[in-house]
Chain A
């Protein structure tokens, strides 16, 4: 390594300053997390609180955070670690933001303070998570009998809901299909606006790109079940609300997939068509569309597949489909009928999966 220029030396002072700033921010966050979790565990195990004291402990820690004690302590720790890294070794933040010091190359994790810190942080997270999610292995291992009714129902499905279940299953598949079908034209148009390589022309087109991208990311972040609640109050309980909920989510998801495909096209044909004096729409029609049609088809079928899965539970909140009759039977404990419906769903999802994989194989 002797003859090579160290990486740090190739950086400008400005880049080094930014890197160091990032390192201190990351270290502060990590140290604050470690301190908060250690505090929480100490309170939980101090004996002064029973299992119900957990939440109280959490509140106390939120207060502490609020008053900034842990934050300032963590910040002080981060500063010390970054100032004295010659003795303490690179901090985790430094390692992430700028890479570890050269002197540490080839060290095992247990030979650095950073390694030990990360190991302790992982342990702390695990035990804190155990308490926060109220893990109860005892119930898991000894109280199976309470759920045995469901398992018995799955093994002995009742024929009473078979007919209704099949009818609603057909509705479920159509629900997913309509949501996908409505999503295609909208996502197709939006994807051109959300493709970076087509929106470099002017400040206006870059703004359109940003707005479309942000809007779609936000829409996608909201789960279809939440969209279903919105549309149920809009158009009323029933499958159409489910169609709309899955439609909105599909538009966002397909726009993202489509536009990423547009971004990865070969720019050559676009140049060639542009050079003939073609208009923008013609350039898209000849230079872009032929390149993206097969992957678009593949994504669309995949999306229909996902929509079938989602539409089986969209009925839980009143969005139509098979979930609509599944929910009350779960609540009433009609396990035989639940078993029938769950089996119907499983077979459908499995078949869709198989068919969609086969079709997509053919296309690409």
Chain B
């Protein structure tokens, strides 16, 4: 852990929105292969911007990012699309195509490698369909293959999104507050599937979270952002009251003191 090759290298990353709002300031970060790296911070601290810069959903205003040694900040067109295929993303709001069936949503994970003509007609190879069904069974949704995505509960939709991520055959998974819009009781069921991506599939995971309990339960390493700056990096067990105040400010109160 932490000894593998570099999965992601970030140097001097900055993002300024509309020439005024500074979302990220000069971030340096290396993520090693096989890590489950949690990104902590208040809402608005830049966690989401950081993750979206890594797969270029947002274009940074400064700095460079390498994925497996290949610079994504310099990639364009076909090269950028090829690099994105290796980076799956899981969103807070699941972001499924609501009117499509569950299996069609999972199959969109293959769009980077399927032929354009077939995919515009919503056609996918039989082989891919079999994989999609297998992944849905793995996340416990084998009975919902043909259901419309918006008929599923939030927790189920996020598991569809995880199956979609698996479909991409990624090497890296970006999870942006994956359980923040879920009922607290369902959080662990989704987090365990993300943990499985890391542990069983050997994927590198970058996951933004704001719940320290979840960080301690799942992460192998933690970094924290505050007002767009990297203010702390360490191991989950090193998170204590001092660090907590450093990340969240002196006024913050611990939701669950007992866990520290």
A contact set with B: CB distance below 8 Å: 268-269, 271-279, 281-282, 285-287, 290-291, 293
Q: A272, A276, A277: which contacts B96 (Cβ < 8 A)?
A: A272
Query: Would you list which residues of chain B between 89 and 138 have a CB under 8 Å from chain A?
Result: 89, 91, 93-100, 108-113, 116, 119-120
CB distance from A36 to the nearest CB of B (A): 44
Asked if B144 is at the interface (CB within 8 A of a chain A CB), the reply is: no
In the bound complex, do residue B57 and residue A276 qualify as a contact, i.e. CB atoms below 8 Å apart? no
Determine, out of B20-28, B79-87, B206-214, the stretch whose residues face the partner at the interface: B79-87
Check B13 for interface membership: any CB of A closer than 8 A. Answer: no
Chain A's interface: helix, strand, loop or mixed, by majority?
Answer: helix
With both chains docked as a complex, state the minimum distance between the C-beta of B159 and any C-beta of chain A, in angstroms. 15
In the bound complex, CA of A279 to CA of B100 (Å): 19
Given contacts A269-B97, A272-B164, A282-B119, 13 further A-B contacts (CB under 8 A): A268-B91, A269-B98, A273-B97, A274-B57, A276-B109, A276-B112, A277-B81, A277-B168, A278-B81, A279-B116, A286-B111, A287-B97, A290-B99
Judge whether B55 is part of the interface by a CB distance below 8 angstroms: yes
CB distance from B201 to the nearest CB of A (A): 17
Q: Is the CB of A277 within 8 A of B116?
A: no
User: Cβ of B57: which chain A residues have Cβ within 8 Å of it?
Assistant: 271, 274-275
* Complex contacts, A282 vs chain B, CB 8 Å: 111, 116, 119-120
For residue A363, give the distance in angstroms from its CB to the closest CB of chain B.
Answer: 12
User: Which residues of B are at the interface with A, using a C-beta cutoff of 8 A?
Assistant: 52, 55, 57, 81-85, 87-89, 91, 93-100, 108-113, 116, 119-120, 161, 164, 168
Partner of B84, one of A275, A281, A285, A286: A275
A-B pairs under 8 A by CB, number: 78
Give chain A nearest CB distance to B105 CB in angstroms. Answer: 9
Cβ of A269 and Cβ of B111 under 8 Å apart?
A: no
Q: How far is the CA of A352 from the CA of B144 in the complex (A)?
A: 40
Question: Min CB distance, A208 to chain B, in Å?
Answer: 19
A268 contacts which chain B residues (CB < 8 A)?
A: 91, 93-95
Residues of A within 8 A of B99 (CB): 290-291, 293
Task: Decide if A276 touches B108 in the complex (CB within 8 Å).
Answer: yes
Find out whether the CB atom of B108 lies under 8 angstroms from the CB atom of A286: yes
Of B55, B82, B94, B110, the contact of A275 (CB 8 Å cutoff): B55
